[in-house]
Every structure is written in C-alpha cells, then in structure tokens.
Chain A
Amino acid sequence: MKDLRLMKGNEAIAEASIRYGVDGYFGYPITPQSEVMEYLMAEKPWERTGMVVLQAESEVASINMVYGGAACGKAVMTTSSSPGISLMQEGISYIAGAELPCLLVNVVRGGPGLGTIQPSQADYFQSVKGGGHGDYKLITLAPSSVQEMYDFVALGFDLAFKYRNPALILSDGAIGQMMEKVWLDEQRPRKTEDEIRALRPWATLGKPDGKPRNIITSLELESAKQEQVNLRIQAKYRELEENEVRYELIQCDDAEYLFVAYGTSARICQKAIELGRQKGLKIGLLRPITLYPYPSKAIAELSGHMKGILSVEMSAGQMIEDIRLAVGCSIPVHHFGRLGGIIPTPSEVLHALETKLIGGK
C-alpha cells in the first residue's frame, strides 16, 4: 500500500532516500535545501533502516564521504545548493573518474557567488557539461513537482548503479520549498554485504581470501591507459544518450510554437500555454526530464512542425545552446528568463513568446 502525504520537495527527497534503502547521507547545511538533513536527523533513519546520516564539516568533506561510501558499493548521497555544489566539483570529478555511482541533489539558488537564496536555474551548464575538471558527464534529472523529487531519488540511484556514474537531481529553490501531495513507496530493504558483493564486484568491502583486491582510483600515470579509461567512459555516455533520454510532451500535437522548459519553468509554461490557447495561440511544451542525456532528437523532430521555439529558463540562457544545437538554424529559437532568483509569471512568458516569436502582438 502506498502512503499519501503533503510534503516539501526537500522533505520528499529525504523520505525517498530512506524508503529506497540508501546506506548513507552526508551533507552540510545551506539554504534552500537544509530541510533534507533536518528531516533525516528528526526521522532517525538509523533506527528505521540502519541508514547512516552525518553532518560534515563542509561540502568538500561531504562529497568525499560520498566518494568513500560509493567506493564500497553502498548507496550514498548528498544534497546541497549552488555554492555548495561548486565546492564539491573536485570530488564529483573523482567519483566520475573512478566510475562510481552516487546521487547528488542541487536545489539551485541564484548566483553567481553567494548570490541569493531564491530559486534559479543558472547551474544548468555546471550540471550537464561536466562541472569539474576532465571529460565527464552527470546523469542529470530535472523534477518539476514534489512527486518527481521523490521519484527521482530511486530513478537517479538506479541509473547511477546501472552506468556506474554519479546522477544529479537538478532542482531549484521553488521545487525544494513548495508543498504538494506525494505518493510514497513501500520501504525497500538496504542491500546486504553479500548482495553488494554479488551485484557490484568492484566494491571495496575487504579483499576476500584468495581473490584479487579491489582498487578504486581515478589515477592512471600512463597516458595511453588513461586514454583507454576515457574512451570507456565516453562509450558509456553514448549508451546513456541512446537509452536513457526522458522528456514529456504537453499539448504538442497541434502546436505551432514550442516552449522548451524544465523544472519550475515548465510549470509556469503550462499556465502560459493555457493563457495563450485562450487567445487562440497554438502552443505546446517539451519538458526535458533528463537534461543529460538531452532530448535533442525529440526537439529536432518536433521543430519540423513548429514556427519557433522559446527556451524558458531562470537564467541568462544556458539550455538554449542545446536547443540550438538540436535544431540548427531551421527555425527561430529564442530565450526568455528572469535572473537573480526571480520566478517569471505565466503572462510574462506568454508575452515573451508573442513578442519574440510571433512579432509584437
């Protein structure tokens, strides 16, 4: 039986982690996501499932705790917000380089620098283009509801373990803070050490007698070998791009104009479509659910039936580059966004579509 609860997005992440059977959560307080650790500490998951929860001394420490736990084949995660995620980039690069699974959550706030604590989507580049040093990608999931905050914990871990690569839930301060109803899954058991040894033979759980040791490293001093490591990782990304693209189409069947938006912006676009259709404008929405791998093919196919695309982002225009890469110069692609933690209104978004794509109406 599923439970129904009214929860904040951040709380949904926390409860989902317990119910998924996560082994360890390591975090550091930062607005607007501190409710994740607050919920966990109040809930005492070590009594419910044996899950470890630890408040680290910094985001640098918490991501390296995740690195240590992930190397042992454990399901481990951290959550933070933009400045904290920037601090973690070195550790994330090591985890990707060592080909380890883990779950990261970024409840994005406005930047750059200390910026603001209000919602933003300005960490798109950092999330989908790598972020830290070296050639790597994060499996990036963009929830647009509290239910998806909950659901993407399991999806993120499943993909992370399948591809041995970190997965990131790219949320924002609005989705993290708002309350909605959430259907909760039944409790899954945490994996036993024997199960981890069977499922993840690379895990460092202690070298069994007579078997070779496991070494978790991202170091390879010989360039020829390091290139092979990189090629193997890149092959994995091609596989991800082939198999794991997820997106949602809303009212696209008869649409002449297309919004492309994720997360909070996608919610606003849905209302803007409603307002536009009342005026007779045929507008649809493509909502990327995976930002990496990106739904480039779907956007390219749809663009054949559209007169123009508006990329709606709470940033100065980052995702628009991927849309333009997907459609080339075949149709006009414009950006609309608000910066610094401001959430655009549906009428602002509709007005931007009318002025930028239709022409001054």
Chain B
Amino acid sequence: MADHLTTQDIRKPENLVYKKTPVLTDNVLHYCPGCGHGTAHRIIAEIIEEMGIQDKTIGIAPVGCSVLAYNYFDIDMHQAAHGRAPALATAVKRLMPEKFVFTYQGDGDLAAIGTAETIHACNRGENITIVFVNNGIYGMTGGQMAPTTLEGMRSSTSPFGRDIELMGNPLKMTELVSHLAGTYFVTRQAVHTPAAVRRTKKALRKAFENQTLGKGLSFVEIVSNCNSGWKMTPLDANKWMEENMFPFYPLGDIKVDGQLVQK
C-alpha cells in the first residue's frame, strides 16, 4: 500500500528512475545557476558511461568558463592553453588511436584565439570529437564581445551593441568547418529544453561513436545561454536565445556521414 511506503522502500533499486552518472564527480559545479554547461557536461558523462569507455576516454578542457571541466568528469583530463585544445587532442589521438578523445571549448577559445588549431584539426580529419559551446560572449572574463556575438548585441566591450562596421561580423564557425573535407559529422544543437537535450545527447553519442570509424572529425556546437554575461534571468536568457541566437545560428545537422545536409 502506498501510504505504508517508507523512504527506504522508495529508494529500492527497482524504483530507481534516474540517477547521476558515476562519470560525473560529486564536486559542486562552479557554473552560474541557469547556465547550459552543467547539462552539456552531464550528457557527455552519460554517453561515456553508456558506451563503457570511461577507462579509455581523455578529455581536453579549454580556457574559459569550462576551464575547470576536469573537476567534474571522472576521467583522465588535460587543461589546454587558450584555444589549443584541438592541437592537444590531435596528439593524444594520434599517439593512442584506440582511445576516445574530446575537446570541450567555448566560443572565445575555439572561434577566436583557437581558430587556426580548430580549422586545421578539422581539415586534417583528426578522429576526435569537438564540443563547441557557443553563448556569444566571453563569460569567465566578465562578458566581453566574442567572435560569435550577434550584431547589435551588448557586451562589456561593445556596450552600445556590436557595430559590424567597427567590430566586424559574427563568425559561423560550425558552417565554416562543415565545408572542410576532414569533418565527418557537423551539427548544431541546444540544451535549453528536455527535447533539445535529447537531440543533443543523440548527436553527441554519434560524435563519440564516429571515433571508431576513422572517417574524420565530429563537431558538435551547442548554442547556449550566458544569463550572467547577458544580464538576464535564466528564463529570459533562454527566451532571448530562441528569439535571437537561433535565427542566426539555426539548430540541426549540417553535415552527416561526410555529406552536407541539403536544406
């Protein structure tokens, strides 16, 4: 009878519907409440658990908000210099092709200072997975303009909004790498709703599985929010992201199995 159930009863293994993956540590996340990094971390950790590859996965953390990603994944990890994660990952994978290697990078890291390393790792077709979290701003340093900051978007170094004439255009790195012969799977996803999380997880799973095929690089962009940098509540940030980020950075697969997706 339901009214006789104790906490102990409820905690029986057969009643378990969800638990934190053991591939995430118990460390408390330093990310701001409402930030998408926590969800992105969790689904990557779940995939590593589900694929049974915790003992052969090496992750590369960037410089930026996710610099401390190694505190949260219970796997061997490196902390790269700003923008250089794809260079580290290239060496790790080439020296140990049987391992699973991924980088986790923000838009300042990957699309500004690390542009050369990103493009050349993609173009060489390194059999690694790049996870690119794009929130259109430098979060960790306090909300400066990023290469992906939208036209008119305010930041601490574009306080009156990004002026294209003065500051140049926002960069669509994901479309750019999709045109390189070395990329095998290129997709853009989000983690702001349960449905989006499910789609992102599916994409990330494919991106990790592709590493065993030896057919090139898998590149997963996650368009995310930065409610602190954008100076919004988490809910407002997600709404703003849907209304402003998604039209410029449309979600969906861009390249699948080495072929550009016809739109």
Chain A residues at the B interface, C-beta cutoff of 8 Å: 23-24, 26, 52, 54, 56-58, 60-62, 64-69, 71-72, 74, 76, 90-91, 94, 98, 193, 204-209, 213-219
Contacts and interface: CB of A to CB of B under 8 A. Distances in A.
B153 interface: no
Contacts of A193: 96
A57 B77 contact: no
Contact of A72 (B58, B80, B120): B58
B210 interface: no
A58 B84 contact: no
B99 A68 contact: no
Contacts of A69: 91-92, 95
B209 interface: no
A220 to B, nearest CB: 11
A68 B90 contact: yes
A209 to B, nearest CB: 6
A57 B83 CA distance: 14
B67 interface: yes
B84 A216 contact: no
Given A52-B94, A204-B76, A213-B76, A57 B84 contact: no
Contact of B95 (A60, A74, A219): A74
15 contacts: A23-B95, A24-B91, A52-B91, A54-B90, A54-B91, A54-B94, A57-B116, A57-B117, A64-B91, A67-B78, A69-B91, A98-B79, A206-B99, A207-B76, A219-B79
B109 to A, nearest CB: 13
A68 B88 contact: yes
B76 A90 contact: no
A207 B54 contact: yes
Contacts of A52: 91, 94-95
Given A207-B54, A209-B55, A219-B67, A65 B87 contact: yes
How big is chain B's contact interface, by range?
A: 20 to 34
Contacts of A206: 55-58, 75-76, 99
B81 A91 contact: yes
Nearest to A204: B76
Interface string B60-83: 110000011010011111111100
Given A67-B81, A69-B91, A69-B92, A61 B116 contact: yes
Contact of B77 (A24, A205, A213): A213
A207 B75 contact: yes
Given A24-B95, A54-B94, A205-B96, A67 B76 contact: no
Residue of B73, B81, B99, B116 most packed against chain A (CB within 10 A): B81
Nearest to A62: B87
Contacts of B120: 56-57, 61
Nearest to B82: A90
Contacts of B70: 215, 217
A66 B94 CA distance: 12
A58 B79 contact: no
B87 A64 contact: yes
A72 B117 CA distance: 20
Contacts of B74: 207, 213
Interface string B27-60: 0000000000000000000000000001111101
Q: Which 10 A-B pairs have the closest CB atoms?
A: A68-B88, A64-B87, A204-B76, A217-B79, A68-B91, A64-B84, A65-B91, A57-B120, A69-B91, A206-B56
Nearest to A193: B96
B57 to A, nearest CB: 7
Contacts of B75: 206-207, 213
A92 to B, nearest CB: 10
B217 interface: no
Residue of B73, B75, B90, B99 most packed against chain A (CB within 10 A): B90
B89 interface: yes
Nearest to A208: B55
Given A64-B117, A72-B96, A216 B91 contact: no
